[in-house]
Amino acid sequence: MKIGTTVLNQGIMLAPMAGYTDRAMRVVARECGAEYTVTEMVSAKAVVYGDKKTLSLARILPDEGPVALQIFGSEPEVMAEGARRLLDEGLGVSPVAIDINMGCPVNKIFSNGDGSALMRSPKKIEATVRAVTDAVSLPVTVKLRSGIDENSINAVDCALAAECGGASAVCIHGRTRVQMYGGAADRKIIENVKKSLQIPVIANGDILTGGDAISMLRDTGADGIAVGRGAVGNPFIFGEIAAALSGAPYSSPTLSERVRIALCQLSLAVEEKGEAVAVRESRKQIALYLRAFRGSALLRAEINRAESYSEVEDILRRAASDGENA
């Protein structure tokens, strides 16, 4: 599978998730087997208005591997200018693609006409993709959902519009905007998109195991898969998927390995954001690493009270030691 000049051997990607796919998560996902990652979504309008905090979300460093920079907005000319300015800013390492978010379901984004609200108008999707494609020299990709609700399942029309606008690939989350993250992802709509397009199609939704990845690719014919919530607190899923796709044996990580990767992720977050912010923002993800530990509910409660890196480290190392000595 190729996105522009970027070649993915197995098409295993980390899906973009606001509040999750910061640099720390992207680095550990890459270490654990993700071939490609995508940033948190960045407001094109905020970039045009010169917001410095927004620019910091777009920073990419050399150890992250191939990374796409995701932007959102609803005005084609603003999206184009935002993308151009981001690339002109010098973000550290240049992204390998610009990804346009047309799938975010949250009310704050949707009510402004951004994210999945763009799926109301395939014509606007085409115009937006064309504007961004004309403004940058990188490949442009698009993230979509199956539709806004069950009465407007139009992912095929929207994906075709993106392709007509010059998109190099589309990623389809098989849920409607109304479903948010509930219910089951609809693989049939992803299959229909794949049959309708000439560009690569990436499948997203309900990929929690290596077996899920195999069946998703089999059922949809997609060119690759993007793992979202299944990778939160479990970046090891990428290694599991890689092994499943290649038919290789896979061994689940030990408790010590889980602790090592969790602390690596927290350390990277501290380096990027400072200890107080990083620990507070990372609690949910770090707590999810503990799913494999004995007494995980009590451990999560301890993590949620932690205020420093050293407190988190003590909790994790003690839990791993108790588990291995049990």
Work out the mean pLDDT of the chain and round it to a whole number.
94
Vertex 226, ends 70 and 7: CA angle to 5°?
80
Provide the CATH number for the domain around residue 83. Answer: 3.20.20.70
Residues 269 and 222 in one domain: no
Residues 102 and 240 in one domain: yes
Active site residue 264: no
Residues 175 and 68 in one domain: yes
Tens digit of each residue's pLDDT (9 = 90 or more) over 70-81? 999 999 999 999
Residues 208 and 292 in one domain: no
Tell me how far apart the alpha carbons of residues 167 and 242 are, in angstroms, rounded to a whole number. Answer: 27
Query: Range of 239's domain?
Result: 2-246
Strands 2-3 and 6-7: antiparallel
Tell me how far apart the alpha carbons of residues 180 and 116 are, in angstroms, rounded to a whole number. Answer: 11
Q: Where a domain ends, among 246, 263, 282?
A: 246
Residues 140 and 209 in one domain: yes
- Give the pLDDT score at 323: 67
Residues 65 and 172 in one domain: yes
pLDDT at 134 over 90: yes
pLDDT at 218 over 70: yes
DSSP state of 286: H
Average pLDDT over residues 164-168: 98
Dig out the tokens for 139 from the structure: 């490949």
CA 265 to chain CA centroid, nearest Å: 16
Residue 208 in contact with residue 237, Cβ under 8 Å?
yes
Provide the CATH number for the domain around residue 264. Answer: 1.10.1200.80
Tell me how far apart the alpha carbons of residues 262 and 219 are, in angstroms, rounded to a whole number. Answer: 33
Tens digit of each residue's pLDDT (9 = 90 or more) over 2-13? 999 999 999 999
Q: Among 140-149, 253-262, 286-295, name the most confident range.
A: 140-149
Tell me how far apart the alpha carbons of residues 316 and 293 are, in angstroms, rounded to a whole number. Answer: 10
Residues 170 and 308 in one domain: no
Residue 177 in contact with residue 147, Cβ under 8 Å?
yes
Residues 176 and 37 in one domain: yes
pLDDT at 62 over 90: no
pLDDT at 322 over 90: no
CA 103 to chain CA centroid, nearest Å: 12
Tell me how far apart the alpha carbons of residues 247 and 213 are, in angstroms, rounded to a whole number. Answer: 13
Residues 14 and 112 in one domain: yes
Catalytic, out of 32, 104, 158, 171: 104
Residues 65 and 17 in one domain: yes
Roughly what angle, to the nearest 10 degrees, separates helices 237-246 and 210-220?
A: 60
Confidence of residue 88 (pLDDT cuts 50, 70, 90): confident
Task: Give me the number of domains the chain comprises.
Answer: 2
Q: Where a domain ends, among 226, 246, 266?
A: 246
Dig out the tokens for 22 from the structure: 């910061």
Q: Where a domain ends, among 227, 246, 265?
A: 246
Going by C-alpha positions, the residue among 147, 140, 189 that lies closest to residue 166 is 140
One-letter amino acid of 296: S
Tell me how far apart the alpha carbons of residues 112 and 33 are, in angstroms, rounded to a whole number. Answer: 36
Residue 3 in contact with residue 36, Cβ under 8 Å?
yes
- Give the pLDDT score at 95: 94
Residues 117 and 156 in one domain: yes
Residues 154 and 128 in one domain: yes
Tell me how far apart the alpha carbons of residues 258 and 292 are, in angstroms, rounded to a whole number. Answer: 9
